Amino acid sequence: MILTDTHTHLYSEAFDDDRDEVIARAIKQGVQRFFIPAIDSTYTDAMLRLKSAYPKHIFLMAGLHPTHVKEDFENELAHVEDLLKKHTYYAIGEIGIDLFWDKTFLKQQQIAFKKQIQLAKKHKLPIIIHCRDAFDEVFEVLEDEKSDDLFGIFHCFTGNFKQAQKTIGYGMKLGIGGVVTFKNGKIDAFLNQIPLKHIVLETDSPYLAPVPYRGKRNESLYLLEIINTLASIYAKPVAEIAAITTQNSKEIFGI
């Protein structure tokens, strides 16, 4: 059984003391593929070191996270473009709009999101969407950019059934992580109405640890808790869900 964590920040400082052990634990339990989203240029070197250390397991993305869109966002986008010329990346992400913490740079976030979608299309890459308190704003940009070459993953999907259908209509898979194990997560109420072909697994580690680790540091090993919950929701064997979701990730990332 091969599991794919489509979203993990393994380069995070949260793993500085035991990163190798964290990766080894996950690999031992079948999590063989780790897709690594970017935040901003300050993490580039750490991401490249991680890829160098685990070339068969680590797959990098390039992008500017919406909460890191500030006055200098154009310089950050130039850095992303430069990286795409120098190294191999499998997606543009994570990108999107986040209005939870601060709405000061909403216009800049919208511009950065749109430009990075266009960059993804140029390089024939998927996008990985971050959305927090901003479904309408994200859908507005996706509506402007919808096309046959728009595809990717709506990371940490926490919307309702109607929003899930709309997301899928834009060529996105739903990234399902620890929230599906929460009592108040809500997505478990309708998820079995979404065919598994539209689902990929993620942890977003070190964030959003699933039950029974909620509130603690998350890690890719805990993908097992997420897939066990999905097995219950879909009434299907864990191995089947692992096979389908990993195949879905291959369709998105091309590897």
Q: What is the CATH number of the domain that holds 140?
A: 3.20.20.140
Domain count along the chain: 1
pLDDT of residue 77: 98
Q: How far apart are CA 125 and CA 87, in angstroms?
A: 14
Pairing, β 127-132 against β 92-98: parallel
> Residue 185: which pLDDT band, with cuts at 50, 70 and 90?
confident
Instruction: Give yes or no for residue 236 having a pLDDT over 90.
Output: yes
- Structure confidence at residue 184 (pLDDT): 86
Mean pLDDT value across residues 167-173: 98
| Most distant CA atoms of the chain, gap in Å | 49
Q: Which of 63, 133, 68, 124 is CA-nearest to residue 98?
A: 133
**What is the model's pLDDT at position 101?**
86
Contact yes or no for 169/195 (Cβ under 8 A): no
Range of the domain at 83: 3-253
Task: State yes or no: pLDDT of 223 exceeds 90.
Answer: yes
Q: Is the pTM of this model over 0.95?
A: yes
- pLDDT > 70 fraction of the chain, expressed in percent and rounded: 100
Contact (Cβ atoms closer than 8 angstroms) between residue 92 and residue 150: no
Q: Cα 134–156–202 angle (5° rounding)?
A: 160
Closest CA to 74 of 32, 25, 41: 41
Distance between CA atoms of residues 239 and 248, nearest Å: 14
Per-residue confidence (pLDDT) for residue 146, from 0 to 100: 96
Q: Given this model, what pLDDT does residue 147 score?
A: 96
**How many whole angstroms separate alpha carbon 20 and alpha carbon 104?**
38
Average pLDDT over residues 163-169: 98
**Residue 250 token pair:** 């291959």
Structure tokens at 132: 């927090």
Q: Which residue has the tokens 């430009």?
A: 115
The pair of three-digit structure tokens given for residue 215, joined into one six-digit string:
């509130």
pLDDT at 233 over 90: yes
Asked if pLDDT for residue 80 goes beyond 90, the answer is: yes
Q: Within 10 Å of residue 88's Cβ, how many Cβ atoms?
A: 11
Q: What is the pLDDT of residue 74?
A: 97
What are the pLDDT digits (tens) for 13-62? 999 999 999 999 999 999 999 999 999 999 999 999 999 999 999 999 99
Interatomic CA distance for residues 255 and 250, integer angstroms:
5
Q: What gap in Å lies between CA 175 and CA 199, rounded to an integer?
A: 6
